[in-house]
Structure 1
Amino acid sequence: MSTELPISRFPIPDIATLPEDLRTRIETLQSKMGFVPNVFLGHAHRPNQLRAFLAMHDDLMESDEGLSRAEREMIVVATSALNQCLYCTVSHGALLRIRSKQPRLSEQVGANYRDAEISPRQKTMLDYAVKLAQTPWLVGDNDIETLRAAGFSEDEIWDIGAITALFAMSNRLASHTAMRPNHEFYGLAR
């Protein structure tokens, strides 16, 4: 008897039946990583929505302008942990370990970023991201001014908010679908 939980509450299509662009991307990722992250399989239930999610994700998370890739992952880990999203906390925690080259950082940020080994600037960034994720109705001009005073550019401030918003959606989709993290993520960059 298998104790393995399903990837999603919704049907997972066979990769071979997906549109060519998505199939190629998944197969390329599988050959690079050695596994297919469950987010691809779970969201493939609705291929057009997967494509739109990936476009936004790639634009925000793969950029080398402004925020570092590790800082982008810090936002995801801090807000996903507060949203109790196991998938995003674990998978992006692995990416944070890889991108920061600091094996303890993802657990620190996920448990309590205020005590993590991060700079005051990064703490200001996460203070804002957490406020936007938890109490968006309280966000005001003074919050943006605080980010500016910490040295963030307009584009970086935009990205902090956009990453927070994208992963608020992603966290909720992961909960909606009961998406589980791949076992491989737990051991990456340890």
Structure 2
Amino acid sequence: MTEQPISRFPPPELADLPQDIRERIAAVQEKSGFVPNVFLALARRPDEFRAFFAYHDALMEKPGTLSKAEREMIVVATSGVNQCQYCVVAHGAILRIRAKNPLIADQVAINHRKADLEPRQKAMLDFAVKVAERSHAIDDADYEELKSHGFSDDDAWDIAAIAAMFAMSNRLANAFSIRPNDEFYLMGRESRS
């Protein structure tokens, strides 16, 4: 395997970054065993890095009705629609781990309607994909459909906000050619001995 650049723009040197960003990157590296390329790529702009990850954490790490696996499903489904290789690969790995299912991320990324999901999760992803593709067409019927599957108004907000936030993330990752770390491809998959 050849060494490829992680992004269109060279990442900054870790030693040159503000301490809070160095600490955040070190914490992620300690937890995962590597530094996801998106952290290095976005660290070029410290204020934007902080804002991006603050909103990410507010949506993805908060308590609520949506499980962490369901939040990752939203990211993977909408990132597939937006053709974002980085987010499909990286968040697909996280989804496989959180769902404890080595097949689910590939299914959701390609076509969530044919994935092995509950009807409730398919309705959630139908709404998320509509936000990603045609947010201007969201109407009361979309919210009623979510309610019929047991989703609250707060859940609907979370689904829409995650889809919208990752639409921005997908566009940045695509525009900056952020490459998924090789480590992501094998995470959460069954090993073959």
Q: TM-score, normalised by structure 2?
A: 0.95
1:127 aligns with 2:126: yes
Match of 2:19 in 1: 20
With 168-177 and 8-17 compared, the bigger mean Cα shift is at: 8-17
Could you list the runs of 5+ residues in structure 2 that have no partner in the other structure?
none
1:16-95 pair list within 5 angstroms: 16-95=15-94
CA shift at 1:120, angstroms?
0.3
CA shift at 1:11, angstroms?
2.7
CA shift at 1:44, angstroms?
0.5
Match of 2:98 in 1: 99
Identity %: 59
Could you list the runs of 5+ residues in structure 1 that have no partner in the other structure?
none
Give the count of matched residue pairs.
Answer: 189
- Cα RMSD of the aligned pairs, angstroms, is 1.0
Cα deviation, 1:137-180, whole Å, max 9, x if unaligned, reads 21112111111121101111100000000000000000110001
Distance in 1, Cα, partners of 2:62 & 2:100: 18
List 4+ stretches of structure 1 deviating above 3 A. none
Distance in 2, Cα, partners of 1:173 & 1:5: 19
Cα deviation, 1:59-111, whole Å, max 9, x if unaligned, reads 11112311000000000000001110000000000000010001100011011
Distance in 2, Cα, partners of 1:35 & 1:26: 9
1:160 aligns with 2:159: yes
Distance in 1, Cα, partners of 2:61 & 2:180: 21
Distance in 2, Cα, partners of 1:85 & 1:186: 15
With 131-140 and 98-107 compared, the bigger mean Cα shift is at: 131-140
CA shift at 1:17, angstroms?
1.2
